[in-house]
Chain A
């Protein structure tokens, strides 16, 4: 039971308790029995109502009794009563709820019944409800029932009145709560919902929006300067900075004739949720057949070493058909399909928004010479699997900068400003894990967005050093930081390769022609040279 200390009473105390409880049990069970008897017989009278009062005062989680109580009011009490009587009756119902709420501030059923009362009462006083919820959140500023109820009351008030003043009002309410206690995560959360609405509603120009956002940066800065260990403000800061949402695309798709393998190169690391589909057309018939086989990724594991054969994450995905599927298969065309719901991006800010389909024709004569055939986006067969569920992308990402009107150079300036803010704090708090990981995040984003030649390896070195430190400081989450460190190292080397390749196909061709027995080993050599920090 939540928060009830375990005590082992003596046998005698236990005996006394049971004797006392025996009487209560009998009384309670009699009440429940008569309640259910009336319920079964549809007796919606005042006697039944009183019984529900007695039961619910003791046990407000008895949902069936709440249901019955509402049925009594609807089918009995309200049958032949005036609006005034109904108003009075539900008014006392609200008072009753207030009483038992004091004993059980976290019961879902009490809040459900309260909502029902207010939706049923002829003239609901929503302002009174707002005053009540203010009190509730004064008593416990994190009670999520309280915050839920507040949003509900606000939505009702909005329906009846002035929308504009309320968003500002609610925004100011979160400011008050945050100023009372910077660690009020519920208030920061609420703010993340209100800020975009506020900007939209006020119809501000770009300059005004920037001013509002800058005031947010000031607020969050004073919060983490006050308590650098409090995660609330840091998580809000992460959101405020936002991330560039990028679309994943495929850099190249190749068919390696010698090994009968398909190699896909993505511009970001992706994980596979469902195997990508491979099909072929054979010489004999025009039918298209599914080819079974195994997908392997080139991904990254602890310490930056490459991980082969795992289905976790990778820039490169290699398909090897099961031997029985290709033996005696004289196919002339080859296709593959990748759907958005089959992949998950390892970097949260990237998404695949459309189906990728590519294919190639295989000519027998060019057999030995042409090891690598580039697969281009040609017309591929119709979908053979279940229908794709397309979810609008604004339901997927919730980034502040969607409302922030800044271009790339302004974003770079913003990142630079925040990087120096965090560096200053880090001088005062050299071991703050939140400070350190925020800096690492900012540097990573800065490196990505600022893709120019000046941004050399040193950022990566610095990021790696930060993660090394975090692994020591935050032992509970050391594995996460090891993962992040590996990722940045691997990503950096692979991006360097992709960027330096003038022609990816010929570069791939070269790798393959150099390859002896183990094709994967070549990749390993190329992309994952042991990483050394700059001296």
Chain B
């Protein structure tokens, strides 16, 4: 276990290093000069050169990347070029909002996805199954921006059940979390359905039914814990998809998370923020996968971490 953890942590560090390198290269070769963005349209050539020197952007790539890494290991993500604020502060101020939305969103996905998957598996081949699978197909392919706006319009503007965007109370959380839940539930319901169908065919299920246990008890106590196993691994992967998809939902609902921050930074070529958010997102994905691996043996004793 300890050896496994050590090896995985080393791997994670390498992955993060790789991510930092690739992102840095991509931003370096970008045909847009961050110094021009900072200097503004009225700047003289002299001003532009001054800023370039002060930011060290006149240095060769290796020096720039080396300096970035050196600061990074000290926990310094640099200062935003345009906001002039420490990137660490910008991310930390927004991270709680994103984590909260992520947890609520994944919970919503699971509740919706799993129950739809179970219901579809139990109704396999019948109309209910087809309707549910059709729905999962629609939600997976639906454009996030449109669904978010639709949810906002119907439940906040028309019905007035929830605030029109914003952050702060539990009521603010419901709509964005539900939107993420609906959009992501399709993956889970499809996976849950096939996993459940497989488990329902297993011998021990037939045994349980033969013992005379009720249908509900068989499904919930015997089938579900076994069918849900592959789903656990999927949550770890889902965090990655989530970090990408949360940008749109955060924008529409005015949710002050890091997705919003990243989107703005990309438009303004604010490299330190783009780097910082990319690294933090990569970290979240790495941690998510690691946790999924660590939890697996507790659910399925056949899995051993070596």
A binds B: no
Which residues of B are at the interface with A, using a C-beta cutoff of 8 A? none
